[in-house]
Amino acid sequence: MKMKMSFLILITIAITAYFSSLVSGYDLDPMQDLCVAVQDTNHSVFVNGKFCKDPKLANADDFFASGFNESGMPTPTNLGFAVNILNVSRMPGLNTLGISMARADLEPFGLVSPHIHPRATELILVLEGTIYVGFVVPDLRNPFKSRLFAKVLNPGDVFVIPQSMIHIQYNLGTTNATHLSCFNSQNPGVHMISYQLFGSNPPILDDVLVKGFQLDKKVIEHLRAQFS
């Protein structure tokens, strides 16, 4: 009986370990050497990634990009930052490789407001300036509380944001700041928390936001006007 129970425990551990290995990954592993994305919007079927063009038609330009010595286009907000993104849409050769990057430039006291990347962990390398970076995770003992992990970063410092954690970047200095972000996904995505909650279309019911944020309805109306 004891041997049978030990055997069942071993089998359970093995199965758990196997399925844990399946869900611990991010983008799927490539199943061929090259899968250059086809930039074709006429496909009637969406796939989790991009369609591949014939590998024989791939060329060096599919795996090349330039322009990261310059700031990206400013975001359409008053937050004071610009982002230069390199993902599979800009470099088709990234398709199935599970990697992308971005350059963020923050004006003095510029803020990348609370957001998440649903499909990627983010590794931040500061190139210039002084940037406050932090993320929050739920408190294991109380889901209505959170723990903050934050650091003040200077040039050469690196900080990692675990996948799907709410995080921010803030320029503490009076000069511009720049950092590079690397992601373990060809298309990490971004959810800007405040903009999605207060600027949704159609809008979320006022009563839901009033109760959820414990704010007066007039404050909710003001926030909706700011983020819509």
| 166-173 mean pLDDT | 97
Burial label, 6 (beta-carbon count in 10 A; 0-12, 13-18, 19+): exposed
Q: Among 109, 219, 123, which Cα is nearest to 174's?
A: 109
The pLDDT-based confidence of 77 (bands split at 50, 70, 90) is: confident
| 43-58 mean pLDDT | 75
Task: Read off the pTM.
Answer: 0.80
Residue 50's pLDDT is 80
H-run or E-run covering 90: none
Distance CA 58, CA 61 (A): 8
Distance CA 61, CA 204 (A): 44
Residue numbers in the known binding site are 115, 117, 122, 167
Q: Among 82, 118, 73, 120, which Cα is nearest to 101's?
A: 120
| 17-38 mean pLDDT | 61
Residue 28's pLDDT is 67
Residue 16's pLDDT is 41
Residue numbers in the known binding site for Mn(2+) are 115, 117, 122, 167
Distance CA 188, CA 99 (A): 9
Summarised one tens digit per residue, pLDDT across range 99-110 is: 999 999 999 999
For tokens 């079927």, name the residue: 45
85 pLDDT more than 70: yes
Looking at the DSSP bridge assignments, the partners of residue 171 are 131
Looking at the DSSP bridge assignments, the partners of residue 168 are 134
The pLDDT-based confidence of 15 (bands split at 50, 70, 90) is: very low
The pLDDT-based confidence of 220 (bands split at 50, 70, 90) is: very high
* Average pLDDT across the chain, whole number: 86
31 pLDDT more than 80: no
Name the token pair of 47.
């796939």
Distance CA 36, CA 183 (A): 19
CATH says 55-188 is which class?
A: mainly beta
Residue numbers in the known binding site for oxalate are 117, 122
72 pLDDT more than 50: yes
User: Domain limits of the chain?
Assistant: 55-188, 198-227
Residue 136's pLDDT is 97
Query: Does residue 91 contact residue 65 with C-beta atoms inside 8 Å?
Result: yes
